[in-house]
Amino acid sequence: MTRILPAELSLLIITGKVIPLFIPEVKTDFSKWESDVNTFLDRPENTIPDKKILISETFDPNSVDSVTLVNMGLPPKVAANWLRYLIKGGRFRDKEGLKKIFGMTPELFEQLDSFIIFPVKPVKSFKGEGKSILIHVSALSPRDSVQFRTYVKKGRKGELLLELNSTDSLSLLGIPGIGAVLASRIIRYRNLLGGYYAVSQLREVYGIREENFQLVSGFLRVDPSEVKPFNLNFSTVGELGRHPYVGFRMARKLLRLRDQKGKFSSPDDLMPVLAADSLTRLIPYLKFTQ
């Protein structure tokens, strides 16, 4: 075994430290790569999308808390500016005011827009026999709800002037037995249908039990003229399939029939593929212009 003398060991160490000083350092040029990445991201179709905020129900921008804003996924700086404004005594009078929050972008506002509500002061009138019941409210207090139910239970004639096709989820909260989730489902189902032509259709809304329906149905009315029919002769599979009374399977059958027989001219033309009861409830949503 060859032994390395101390002098030789020292020479090797010195050599290992000195040699790199005479070898030029090779640096990798990333400038072209960075330029290509920036060019790619500058294209609108390749920009990284903003994170979608998560909202499941309506909220009052003047009473929202920090937990709600954070859970919605609002950027922390925007949420902080929002709460700071409220803490200082500020109040939003309309949706436009939210656009002034520092950090609020048009994209963020667009996501929030349809969920923002401004509660109105309750206006109730259900005292005295034979008088109409009028409620135009964001919600009734528990005491008022009890009075309302008692008024109807005693058989006093009254009408709740709340039209189901033109009301909003906020006003629906004034009906005893309707909470925020159910109000949202009623509006969502109305949009899918194209409007209600009968109060009894509320039985089809997910989550409404018969006892709920019996409680709320006497406080509502519908204006059938508000129903938005669709033209069966020009509808696509996608448009028909989304309707609760059709579905995608039936939509394909209807379009095959239309391709075979030509454009429909009356509900009778649909009888080869639609059962009588299904056709009856679908008729108010149909039009047959050529």
90/179 same-domain check: no
pLDDT of residue 116: 83
pLDDT of residue 69: 81
Question: In what helix (H) or strand (E) does residue 112 lie, and over which residues does it extend?
Answer: helix 106-113
Establish if 161 belongs to a structural domain: yes
List, in order, residues 6 or more apart from 196 with CB less than 8 Å away: 164, 165, 190, 202, 222, 227
Q: How many CA atoms lie within 13 A of 49 on its CB side?
A: 4
129/214 same-domain check: yes
Cα torsion for 255, 256, 262, 264, to the nearest 10°? -40
pLDDT of residue 22: 61
Q: 65, 96, 118 — which closes off a domain? A: 118
Establish if 15 belongs to a structural domain: no
pLDDT of residue 55: 63
49/114 same-domain check: yes
pLDDT of residue 159: 46
Pairing of strands 134-135, 124-125: antiparallel
Tokens at residue 1, please? 């075994």
Other Cβ atoms less than 10 A from the Cβ of 33: the count is 10
What is the CATH number for 114?
A: 1.10.150.320
pLDDT of residue 24: 59
Establish if 151 belongs to a structural domain: yes
- Rounded CA-CA distance 268/264 in Å is 9
138/220 same-domain check: yes
Establish if 179 belongs to a structural domain: yes
156/192 same-domain check: yes
Phi, psi at residue 167, to the nearest 5°?
-80, 170
Per-residue H/E/C for 221-268:
ECCHHHCCCEECCCCCHHHHHCCCCCHHHHHHHHHHHHHHHCCCCCHH
Beta strands in the chain (DSSP E): 124-125, 134-135, 230-231, 286-287
- Rounded CA-CA distance 151/135 in Å is 13
147/86 same-domain check: no
pLDDT of residue 51: 53
pLDDT of residue 148: 47
List, in order, residues 6 or more apart from 1 with CB less than 8 Å away: none
What is the CATH number for 247?
A: 1.10.150
What is the CATH number for 136?
A: 1.10.150.280
132/215 same-domain check: yes
Tokens at residue 217, please? 């149905």
Number of domains comprising the chain: 3
pLDDT of residue 244: 92
Establish if 13 belongs to a structural domain: no
Cα torsion for 201, 207, 213, 219, to the nearest 10°? -80
Q: 101, 118, 135 — which closes off a domain? A: 118
Q: 98, 118, 138 — which closes off a domain? A: 118
Establish if 101 belongs to a structural domain: yes
DSSP state of 269: G
pLDDT of residue 45: 46
Report pTM: 0.48
112/166 same-domain check: no
- Rounded CA-CA distance 123/134 in Å is 8
- Rounded CA-CA distance 160/85 in Å is 39
113/90 same-domain check: yes
130/214 same-domain check: yes
269/206 same-domain check: no
pLDDT of residue 279: 87
Establish if 191 belongs to a structural domain: yes
Domain containing 67: what range? 36-118
173/234 same-domain check: no
Establish if 69 belongs to a structural domain: yes
Low-confidence ranges of the chain (pLDDT < 50): 44-50, 120-160
